[in-house]
Amino acid sequence: MKTKQASKAKAAPSPGKEEEAVAPGGFRKGPWTEQEDMKLAWFVRLFGERRWDFLAKVSGLNRTGKSCRLRWVNYLHPDLKRGRMSPEEERLVVDLHARWGNRWSRIAKAMPGRTDNEIKNYWRTHTRKLHKDTRAASAASASTTTTTSTSMSAASPATTSSSSSSSTNDNDNHSHHGHGDQETAASQEQADHQLLYTSGIGMDSHLLWNDALMDSYAWGAAAPSMIVPPPSSPVWDYCCSDSLWGIGDDEVEYKKMLAVMPTS
DNA sequence: AAGGACTGCAACCGCACATTT
DNA sequence: GAAATGTGCGGTTGCAGTCCT
């Protein structure tokens, strides 16, 4: 019905709209620009997917580390699939949710190329639809029966409606942060998926990296020197120089970088 | 054609756990 | 061992695009 993922342009807001939200600490908020994406991707490539605060600082993005991480994990990561979920994936989500509840990150680990955020969003839409359908159905049936409901049944509409989806235990006894027992299995799972990815199996043909943004990046297996950097600046120039490849100590390199950073 | 309703998704928030100092 | 910092998670919100009347 609706196909609009390709047209989503929040990541690259219209030029006039870029300077809006600024968080108390002076950090930028809101949609990411293409420039920011490129910068972030570049620095993640440089420093790896860790120490996000440091990375945010070094990149000069004026974003929080958290924001950078989120953007990377949910949008820029090269392994991400884009586009609608296939029927198989949809079934898998339903199945896994029935098993694990709202543990989105865990579900995501079992679904190559999908993020917890994406699955969460999908599920929300999914349950909303179900809710709607259920309501419509019950409204239809209610119109054919008397409306003398007992105080008991009237008092618990939520419980009955929540059972309409397999999310009955949305907030059941799962400790919300499932660190612990399942982690070993989960990491094994992740490793397996990583294997699939690197061999190119299970990847959707419509990867983010097909976008114009990534066309200019030659990401993936490309050697760093093959990556086309974003518009030049002293920092970029420095990044492109051989000196930064083969980083040993981030902090040392950071200090070096600061030396060439424009003071803004 | 216009505008309100709906949908999908990016991004933020608060919290908790993990790691480092 | 405590405090500080970093990271990850689930819940929620806001907004742009699309559909529908």
Cβ of residue A71 near strand B, that is under 7 Å? yes
Protein-to-nucleotide distance from the CA of A172 to the C1' of B16, whole angstroms: 17
Average pLDDT taken over every residue of chain A: 58
Protein-to-nucleotide distance from the CA of A32 to the C1' of C17, whole angstroms: 18
- CA proximity to A258, closest of A239, A235, A230, A233: A235
Cβ of residue A17 near strand B, that is under 7 Å? no
- pLDDT over 50 at A142, yes or no: yes
Protein-to-nucleotide distance from the CA of A125 to the C1' of B7, whole angstroms: 8
- pLDDT over 50 at A248, yes or no: no
CATH code at A5-81+206-260 = 1.10.10.60
Residue A118's pLDDT band, with cuts at 50, 70 and 90, is: confident
A5-43 confidence digits (pLDDT tens): 333 333 333 333 334 467 666 788 888 888 888 888 888
Q: What type of residue sits at position A167?
A: S
A154-163 confidence digits (pLDDT tens): 333 333 333 3
Mean pLDDT score, A194-217: 35
- What pLDDT does A60 receive? 83
Protein-nucleic contacts, chain A 6-35 to strand C, CB < 7 Å: 7-10, 13, 17
Protein-to-nucleotide distance from the CA of A138 to the C1' of B13, whole angstroms: 35
- What pLDDT does A140 receive? 62
- What pLDDT does A29 receive? 83
Distance CA A49, CA A69 (A): 8
Percent of chain A with pLDDT over 90: 0
- pLDDT over 70 at A74, yes or no: yes
Cβ of residue A72 near strand B, that is under 7 Å? no
Protein-to-nucleotide distance from the CA of A2 to the C1' of B3, whole angstroms: 20
CB-contacted nucleotides of strand B (7 Å): 7-14, 16-18
b/e burial code for range A137-173 (CB count within 10 A of at least 16 → b): eeeeeeeeeeeeeeeeeeeeeeeeebebbbbeeeeee
pTM of the model: 0.61
Protein-to-nucleotide distance from the CA of A142 to the C1' of B15, whole angstroms: 41
b/e burial code for range A190-217 (CB count within 10 A of at least 16 → b): eeebeeeeeeeeebeeebbbebebbeeb
A45-65 confidence digits (pLDDT tens): 888 887 888 888 888 888 888
- What pLDDT does A103 receive? 83
Cβ of residue A106 near strand C, that is under 7 Å? yes
**Strand partners for A207:** A81
Mean pLDDT score, A215-235: 37
Question: Domain coordinates of chain A in residue numbers?
Answer: 5-81+206-260, 87-198
Cβ of residue A254 near strand C, that is under 7 Å? no
Cβ of residue A75 near strand B, that is under 7 Å? yes
